Amino acid sequence: MELHHEFTVPVPVDDAWHALLDIERVAPCLPGAAVESYDGRTVNGSVKVKVGPVTVTYRGTAVFEEQDEGAHRMVLVASGRETRGQGTARATVTGTLTERDGGTAVSVDTDLTVTGRPAQFGRGVLAEVGDRLVGRFASCLEERLAERPAAPVAGAAAPPAEAGATAPPVGTGAAAPPVREEAEPLDLLRTAGLPVAKRVAAALAAAAAVALAAVGLRRRGRTRSGRGRKGARR
C-alpha cells in the first residue's frame, strides 16, 4: 500500500535536514522503535507493535539508499521480520524537505508491505494509524529541535556530588555507559482511536454472527435429516 503524509517544523530547511538524519536523536519520537546501531547509512533495530492483547516485535535493518543534501531528498528502505512468527514488514520511505515561510515542509511517501497479524486491519486502518503517528512524530520533532543544550560556563566549578554517589575510578576518564530503556510497543488500536476500534469490533461481531448463523443452519440441517430418517422407519 502507498501512503502520503506531510508536516511542517518551524526551523530552516538545513536544520531540519540534519535533525532528521540524527537517527539516535529522533528515534524516540517513533513509538515502539528502538535503535541498536547506526553507522551513518544503515540502521539496525526493532519495532514493537501491539494488536489488542498480542505484541509483535519486528527486528531488521533500514538503509539510506539516497541522501541528496542539495535537493534535501532522502530514500530509506527498511525491512524486518517477526521475532516469533512468520510476519514481515517492508517499506520504502521517500522524504523531501522544502522551505516554507521560514520553516520546513516535510513530504513523506511510503510504499508499505505488511504480512502477519497487523495486516488484518487493511489499508484504511493502517492509513489512519499512519496519520496519527506522523502527527505525534512532528510534535515530538518540533520539541527536540527547540531544545538548546546548556553551554558550560568558563571557570565554573563542577556541581557537588549527591549524597551516596560513587565517584568514577581515577584515571578512567569515562563515565558509565547510559542504560538503554526498552521502547513501549506501538498500540495500533489505541493509536487509531475509538472510531477505528469500533469499526474493528463491528467487523469481528459481524464475522461472529455469520459463524453462528452457519452453525445454526448446520444444526437445523442435521435435525431435519434426523426427523426424515425417523419418518422413513415408521
Residue type, 66: E
Select the more confidently predicted residue: 165 or 25: 25
Please report which confidence band the pLDDT of residue 62 belongs to, taking 50, 70 and 90 as the band edges: very high
User: Which is nearest to 140 in space by CA: 233, 28, 65?
Assistant: 28
The helix (run of H) or strand (run of E) holding residue 190 is: helix 188-192
**In the predicted structure, residue 192 carries a pLDDT above the cut 80:** no
DSSP assignment string, 50-82: EETTEEEEEEEEEEEEEEETTTTEEEEEEEEEE
Considering the domain boundaries, does residue 138 fall inside one?
A: yes
- Other Cβ atoms within 10 Å of 45 Cβ, number: 21
Residue 180 lies in a domain: no
SS (H, E, C) 87-133: CEEEEEEEEEEEEECCEEEEEEEEEEEECCHHHHHHHHHHHHHHHHH
- Distance CA(47)–CA(31), nearest Å, equals 8
What the block records as the C-alpha cell of 142 is 518540533
Nearest-angstrom CA–CA distance, 95 and 148 = 25
- Strand pairing report for 73-82 and 33-38: unpaired
* 141 Cβ contact partners less than 8 Å away, ≥ 6 residues apart: 9, 19, 20, 26, 29
Segments forming the whole domain that contains residue 39: 2-147
Mean pLDDT of 91-114: 92
Say whether pLDDT at 158 is over 60: no
Instruction: Give me the residues paired with residue 114 across strands.
Output: 89
pLDDT digits (tens, 9 = 90+) for 3-46: 888 999 999 999 999 999 999 888 888 888 889 999 989 999 99
Band the pLDDT of 150: cuts 50, 70, 90.
very low
Average pLDDT, the chain: 74
Q: Is residue 196 part of a domain?
A: no
Q: Give one DSSP letter per residue of 141-152, joined into a string.
A: HHHHHH--PPPP
**The pLDDT value given to residue 177:** 40
- Tell me how far apart the alpha carbons of residues 32 and 50 are, in angstroms, rounded to a whole number: 9
Q: Is residue 135 part of a domain?
A: yes
Is residue 102 scored above 90 in pLDDT? no
Is residue 85, in this structure, part of any structural domain at all?
yes
In a domain, 88, yes or no: yes
Identify the CATH number of the domain in which residue 136 sits. Answer: 3.30.530.20
Q: What is the pLDDT of residue 80?
A: 92
Domain count, the chain: 1
DSSP code for 173: -
- pLDDT of 95 over the 80 cut: yes
Using pLDDT thresholds of 50, 70 and 90, give the confidence band for residue 135. confident
In degrees and rounded to multiples of 5, residue 163 shows phi and psi of -60, 130
Residue 221, domain member (yes or no): no
* Domain-located, residue 169: no
- Measured CA to CA, the distance from residue 54 to residue 145 in angstroms comes to 34
Q: What does the alpha-carbon distance between residue 94 and residue 108 come to, in Å, rounded to a whole number?
A: 6
